[in-house]
């Protein structure tokens, strides 16, 4: 994956320079500088979400005769070895070399490269300082979203400001002092921040919290299904990983806004595609990780008299409750036309009747372990995807897109909406028979799933 992104970024540098110069007939350095503010923000978000800090590797050294400041500097330096840190530099270095070979001043390009690179490396320090502060992350995320909105609707010319600021590193080489001072200052701040808690019994000790007992009493009257739903709701509220699922589901509600930034998304098939994501974000993020969320105690659960069908039905009901709520919230898209909301509403019905069951089905083939107590930031593991799960994407995504597109092409949007809604209704009415098939597959995969969850390697 790293080699793939290296190739993309190096090739992207060539494409960015020559396309802008030959096709757009503009200064490539200015155009790249224009979009660096967006790249910087995305880089910070990716680092916060997925870059792990190497604190655990420091523990064995604390008992040796090594100065503490050396260890702190070692830890700070090690963050720059992560692919998240140096991958963007590959684009910047390649782009700078191309610029020099095409007549740009060597010294000026060098100061531009150093100035921009150091600003990107600042994100490492920001990630260290605010890595465990979720409130700050949410506030900053909202701020980024607000700034992006101002730029998109041309209320504030953010991109023009970005071009002027970053191009100054080329036009005025002494501007590189700003980046050097910021980099040195944040290094010092991070150094002091880490050194204060650099003890086995304090900063590097596993945090302990007082357990709280929660119970949603009215769900208990629904028997085993209610108990399982109760447990899942508590899991979603308590763990950082599952809180991320809830946040991601909320973000999916705004996915339909992409329709107004590209004409491609205004085609009937793509309207249905976006409707499936707007109403089914939680379903896709949560459902395909069943039973991975229960991997820590799945072996124990399989030794008990757990009704498999009720266990899966609880997941199904929880997903559909959230999907129904998303369908209601999606009514805001009626502002852009009732045809759009009706499309999204039909997609929600299809998600409830069909996709909810196929999403659970794909979970039977997901052997990825999920440690809810860990704070690891990994996008996926080798067992996350397989061909069977990919094949199940056909009825989940391609079928409704094809049916809706064809019905609207030969008839009208009303026929497309009704046809998708009918498919969802048929799936809902046949849910018991489909559940029998799903349970059968879960039982077939049970022992390989147990082996994957018990094998920590």
Rounded Cα distance between 366 and 363, Å, is: 5
Beta carbons within 8 Å of 307's beta carbon, 6+ residues apart: 224
pLDDT in tens, 162-174: 999 999 999 999 9
**392 in Cβ contact with 408 (< 8 Å):** no
Query: Looking at 26-35, 54-63, 301-310, 382-391, which range is the least confident one?
Result: 382-391
Instruction: Taking residues 222-228, report their average pLDDT.
Output: 75
**Residue closest to 171 by CA, chosen among 319, 30, 368:** 30
- Where is pLDDT greater, at 345 or 254? 345
pLDDT in tens, 418-439: 998 898 899 889 888 888 888 8
Reported confidence tier of residue 199, pLDDT bands at 50, 70, 90: low
Give the pLDDT of residue 383: 41
Instruction: Taking residues 276-288, report their average pLDDT.
Output: 83
Give the pLDDT of residue 266: 64
* 3-class DSSP state of 308: helix
**The model scores a pTM over 0.85:** no
Give the pLDDT of residue 378: 40
E strand or H helix at 196, and its extent? helix 176-196
Give the pLDDT of residue 209: 52
37-61 as b/e: b if 16+ CB within 10 A: bbbbbebbebbbeebebebeebeee
Instruction: Taking residues 171-199, report their average pLDDT.
Output: 88
Instruction: Taking residues 238-257, report their average pLDDT.
Output: 76
Instruction: Taking residues 87-115, report their average pLDDT.
Output: 92
Burial of 415 (0-12, 13-18, 19+ CB in 10 A): middle
Rounded Cα distance between 55 and 388, Å, is: 38
Beta carbons within 8 Å of 92's beta carbon, 6+ residues apart: 13, 113, 116, 117, 120
pLDDT in tens, 50-73: 776 655 556 677 777 888 888 888
pLDDT at position 259 over 70:
no
Strands (DSSP E) contained in 11-152 are none
pLDDT in tens, 338-384: 888 888 888 889 889 888 888 887 777 777 777 665 544 443 343 44
What rounded mean pLDDT belongs to the chain?
80
pLDDT at position 314 over 80:
yes
**390 in Cβ contact with 374 (< 8 Å):** no
Beta carbons within 8 Å of 84's beta carbon, 6+ residues apart: 43, 46, 47, 50, 51
Q: Where are the alpha helices (DSSP H) in 51-82?
A: 68-78
Give the pLDDT of residue 386: 47
**160 in Cβ contact with 95 (< 8 Å):** no
Give the pLDDT of residue 380: 37
Cα separations in angstroms, 279 against 49, 248, 328, 357: 24, 12, 9, 15
Beta carbons within 8 Å of 274's beta carbon, 6+ residues apart: 255, 256, 258, 259, 265, 344
* 3-class DSSP state of 385: coil
Q: What is the DSSP letter of 159?
A: H
pLDDT at position 86 over 80:
yes
pLDDT at position 34 over 80:
yes
- Where is pLDDT greater, at 293 or 55? 293
- Where is pLDDT greater, at 125 or 81? 125
Beta carbons within 8 Å of 207's beta carbon, 6+ residues apart: none
Q: What is the DSSP letter of 61?
A: G
pLDDT at position 212 over 60:
no
**Residue closest to 40 by CA, chosen among 162, 211, 143:** 162
Rounded Cα distance between 171 and 165, Å, is: 10
Q: How many CB atoms lie within 10 A of CB 69?
A: 11
Cα separations in angstroms, 82 against 5, 47, 124, 267, 365: 14, 10, 10, 40, 31
Reported confidence tier of residue 295, pLDDT bands at 50, 70, 90: confident
């Amino acid at each position: 994956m790293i080699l793939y992104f290296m190739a993309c970024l190096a090739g992207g540098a060539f494409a960015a320079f020559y396309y802008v110069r030959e096709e757009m007939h503009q200064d490539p350095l200015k155009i790249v500088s224009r979009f660096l503010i967006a790249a910087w923000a995305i880089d910070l978000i990716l680092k916060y979400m997925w870059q792990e800090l190497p604190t655990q590797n420091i523990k064995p050294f604390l008992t040796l005769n090594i100065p503490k400041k050396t260890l702190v500097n070692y830890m700070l330096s090690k963050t720059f070895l992560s692919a998240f840190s140096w991958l963007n530099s590959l684009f910047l270095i390649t782009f700078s070399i191309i610029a020099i070979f095409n007549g740009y001043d060597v010294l000026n390009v060098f100061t531009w490269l150093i100035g921009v690179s150091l600003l990107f490396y600042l994100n490492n320090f920001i990630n260290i300082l605010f890595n465990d502060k979720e409130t700050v992350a949410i506030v900053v995320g909202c701020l980024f979203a607000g700034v992006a909105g101002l730029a998109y609707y041309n209320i504030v010319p953010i991109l023009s400001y970005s071009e002027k600021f970053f191009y100054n590193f080329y036009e005025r080489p002494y501007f590189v002092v700003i980046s050097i001072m910021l980099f040195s200052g944040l290094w010092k701040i991070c150094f002091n921040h880490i050194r204060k808690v650099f003890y086995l019994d304090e900063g590097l000790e596993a945090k302990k919290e007082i357990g709280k007992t929660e119970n949603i009493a009215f769900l208990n009257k629904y028997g085993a299904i209610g108990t399982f739903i109760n447990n899942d709701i508590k899991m979603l509220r308590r763990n950082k990983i599952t809180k991320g699922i809830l946040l991601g589901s909320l973000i999916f509600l705004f996915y339909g806004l992409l329709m107004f930034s590209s004409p491609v998304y205004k085609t009937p098939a793509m309207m249905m595609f976006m409707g499936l994501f707007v109403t089914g974000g939680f379903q896709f993020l949560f459902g395909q990780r069943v039973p991975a969320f229960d991997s820590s105690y799945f072996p124990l659960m399989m030794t008990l008299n757990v009704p498999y069908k009720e266990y899966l039905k609880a997941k199904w009901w929880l997903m559909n409750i959230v999907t129904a709520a998303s369908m209601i919230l999606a009514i805001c898209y009626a502002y852009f036309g009732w045809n759009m909301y009706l499309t999204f509403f039909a997609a929600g019905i299809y998600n409830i009747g069909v996709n909810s069951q196929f999403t659970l089905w794909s979970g039977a083939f997901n052997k990825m372990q999920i440690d809810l107590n860990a704070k690891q930031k990994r996008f996926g593991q080798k067992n996350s995807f397989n061909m069977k799960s990919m094949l199940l994407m056909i009825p989940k995504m391609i079928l409704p897109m094809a049916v809706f597109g064809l019905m609207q092409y030969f008839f009208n949007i009303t026929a497309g909406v009704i046809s998708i809604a009918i498919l969802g209704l048929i799936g809902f009415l046949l849910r018991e028979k489909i559940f029998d098939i799903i349970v059968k597959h879960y039982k077939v995969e049970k022992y390989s799933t147990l082996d994957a969850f018990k094998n920590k390697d």
